[in-house]
Amino acid sequence: MPTRHQPATFPRLDRVSEEPVSLRDRRRAQTEREVGEVALALFEAHGIDATTVDEIARQAGISPRTFFRYFPTKERAALVPHRDLEDRVAAMVDALSPDRPVLPQLEEIWVEVLTAFDDGRSEAGEQVLRVRRLMRTEPSLRLAAASLDEERTLVLVAHLRDLLGDLDDLRARVLVETAAAAVRVALDAWAEAVETGGEVDLVATYARCRDLQHDPQRAART
């Protein structure tokens, strides 16, 4: 077990299963990703308001009724990459050590996840970048992402509390939200830079966001 001064060893992302266990769940996850890709491509081409559920369903080869078995709204369909991202983080939380402060460990998990994005060159990074770029011009997608974040935060808070035992809901939520807030700001800065033709080192941007979080006086001077 890591000591208080040693970083925790988290499972590598390529060793964290992204697929549910049962065949039925694997098929469902695959369908969700396929429909999500269709929705995202249509939103990018035509905008969310001009894209209907019927059109998404038709291009995905399913009925509108089937679509709503998978997603409550058309915006949620485009957020499959975000959901998968947060599922990866949740899976890695199991490796947290009770002998170290929780926040640095959550931040280490996010560093590993963001590093795997390879600044948009990996498949997962490209998918998340596409969603974040679209969120810049589509308020309904940003609202849907906020709703999804809230749901996933509650799940992760409960998981942390059960895993570590000595955390109450308030402390667990503050820790999860603190780590996630820096991630959201870094992802937005990344998307903005790409959208305007610039380049941003995502991991370095996240590190700067964390530094500003931990030093409010420095943030006020910046």
21: confidence class by pLDDT, cuts 50, 70, 90: low
Structural domain that includes position 33: 14-76
Do residues 168 and 114 share a domain?
yes
Are 87 and 136 in the same domain?
yes
Distance (Å, rounded) from C-alpha 191 to C-alpha 79? 15
pLDDT at 140 over 80: yes
- Which of 11 and 83 is assigned the larger pLDDT? 83
pLDDT digits (tens, 9 = 90+) for 150-174: 998 998 999 898 888 888 889 999 9
Kindly report, residue by residue over 177-218, the tens digit of the pLDDT.
999 999 999 999 999 999 888 888 999 999 999 999 988 666
- The number of domains in the chain is 2
Name the average pLDDT for the chain: 87
- 54, 101: one domain: no
What's the pLDDT score for residue 14?
Answer: 45
Same domain, 83 and 178: yes
Give me the amino acid identity at 146: A
Whether residues 70 and 160 fall in one domain: no
Closest CA to 207 of 179, 188, 174: 179
| Residue 121 forms part of a structural domain | yes
Structure confidence by residue, pLDDT tens digits, 41-66: 999 999 999 999 999 999 999 999 99
Q: Is 12 left (phi over 0), alpha (psi -120 to 50) or beta?
A: beta
What is the reported pTM?
0.82
Q: What is the pLDDT of residues 109-122, one digit of tens each?
A: 999 999 988 878 88
